[in-house]
Amino acid sequence: MKTKLLDHVGRETGELELADSVFATEPRPDLVHLCVVAQLAAKRAGAAKVKTRAEVRGGGRKPYRQKGTGHSRQGSIRSPQWRGGGVAFGPRPRDYGKNIPRKVRRAALRSVLSDKARDGKLRVVEALKFDEYRTGAVVELLADMNLLDAKVLFVIDEKNEKFVKSAANVPIVKVRHPGNASVYEVVEADELVMTAAAAKALELRLAK
């Protein structure tokens, strides 16, 4: 497929040929769902913990005799039914991570990239060069590209520290490299902007 190639202010300067195997594949919502669920699960701390009856302090002796009191028999005041007792079946520290095969992750990423291209939400620019640390320059770039009201994911081909740090103060902007662009972040973004070199690097990464 062919897409417009833009300069750093959003003006069309030519066309760029993109691989159909990456940017024009069939939708796979099932694989996208698997990857999004796995990525959201991986963000969970899994640190919630409550004490069981074995861990709560006290309750070593029987609160009252077995028979003759008119009450139900009890063995410890730290049983779950007592106030201050342990919790039955409460949360314990755990790992929520899910193992998704690499082929599935790559297929899902190809699917969401193709969705962005089909919907006209993919923009390819020649380069994003910043010579200074200035958040205002990123805001000006978004204004030039009419993206001030959108969540924007930039995928850049090289470690441009000035651009990355300048964009860090803009809440609607995320910056990633071709090696760490994820399915969830592409889905979450309203607009996807990538450099031409990053697009070619993604083609190499996602080649079947």
Could you tell me the pLDDT band of residue 153, with boundaries at 50, 70 and 90?
very high
What's the confidence (pLDDT) of residue 15? 84
The DSSP string of 40-79 is: HHHT---------TTTSS---S-SS-SSSSSSPP-S-TTS
For the whole prediction, is pTM greater than 0.85? no
CB count in 10 Å sphere of residue 141: 24
Could you tell me if 56 and 88 are in contact, meaning their C-beta atoms sit under 8 angstroms apart? no
What structural domains does the chain harbor?
A: 2-45+97-205 (3.40.1370.10), 50-90 (no CATH)
Q: What pLDDT digit, counting tens, does each position of 59-81 carry?
A: 888 999 999 999 999 999 999 99
